[in-house]
Amino acid sequence: MSRVNIKVLADQLQLSVSTISKALRDSYEISDETKKKVLELATRLNYVPNPYASSLRKKKSKTIAVVLPEVADNFFSLAINGIQSVAESKGYHVLIYLSHEKFANEKTILEDCQSGRVDGVLISISSETNTADHINKLQANNIPVVFFDREQEGIETARVTTNDFDCGFLAAKHLLQKGCRKPAFFSISQSLPICLNREKGFKTALRTAGIPEQDQQIIYCTDNDGLYKQVKTILQGNQRPDGLIASVEKIVTPVYLASYELNIRIPNDLKVIAFSTLDTAPILNPPLTTITQPAFEIGKAAATLLFKGIEKSSFDLTRERVIIPSVLIERQSTM
């Protein structure tokens, strides 16, 4: 059965579409008698207003876009829940877009968002992103943008992040306190501010401990498909680290698998700590020490800022910077 729309009502009552629309909105321009006829027919035919058409008339799509690098990461799943909790309370729909860590995909997505189909954009940039032009174009079209977790420098807008430098320092200090003298930092990008800040914290902790720069191992795992192979190659090399920091969650599984295959005992031979919100961290073998990010709260805070920008054009998003602290949870992988 086809959907009953305003045109169907207009045809049956031999009235104009404009008259039907005004009657349904209880306009003073329409007589009570006509309104009654329209409402009776609408009820009888189970007419349901189209929310998208209504929002277009109001020049609002009642939709926001969330642009993510991936969803396999548990962090982003939890962040989406936080975003959704705010969007639902505002009567908004949420469109989820995945860049799959590709800048070209991210650029295409944001070009699509300029068409007016969304009222605002929440974005966590891809590992390949190192320019702001495509995001500046959104702002030029008066579409508010808020970064969460991963941000791009050079753009004046709100951002919700964690204390990444401090956490990189804390993770490295933890490994050093546990006796590691050759810790390594495994990163997915040489340009992402989130990774660079964690890396800087790592290097600062090692330098403070007197470990020379030539002994500070920074491993860039930029090949998603070859991640396991790269991790395994490092762990079976002559410069194998005795401690490892996974800068993102997806590095954890390859590290555990490669260690198992190479008979490297965690934590005896290799201590492992990861930036992660994995629910399974406590039940891994051994349980994983994590820098746990409050993903739900980050998503919720970012969405709250975005809606302030959507609802009040006078609200200055450029002044908003929210830093939500992460927490180190020690488990057996570093004991």
Within the chain, which residue ranges are assigned CATH 3.40.50.2300?
A: 63-161+295-324, 164-292
DSSP assignment of 201-230 equals: HHHHHHHHTT--GGG-EEEE---STTHHHH
* CB neighbour class for 67 (10 Å; exposed up to 12, middle 13-18, buried from 19): buried
pLDDT of residue 59: 66
pLDDT for the residue numbered 52: 53
> Could you report the per-residue pLDDT of 162-211, keeping only the tens digit for each?
999 999 999 999 999 999 999 999 998 888 899 999 999 999 999 999 98
| Record: fold of 164-292 | Rossmann fold (3.40.50)
Give the pLDDT confidence score for residue 1 in this predicted structure: 45
What's the pLDDT score for residue 203? 96
Please state whether beta strands 93-98 and 63-68 pair in parallel, antiparallel, or not at all (unpaired): parallel
Give the relative orientation of helices 17-24 and 6-13 as an angle to the nearest 10 degrees: 110
Q: Does the predicted TM-score (pTM) go above 0.85?
A: no
Beta carbons within 10 angstroms of residue 220's beta carbon = 16
**Which DSSP category does 279 fall into?**
T
Q: Which CATH class is domain 63-161+295-324?
A: alpha beta
Q: What is the pLDDT of residue 107?
A: 93
**Residues of the chain under the 70 pLDDT cut:** 1-3, 50-59
Q: What is the secondary structure of 68-83 as a DSSP string? A: ES-SSSHHHHHHHHHH
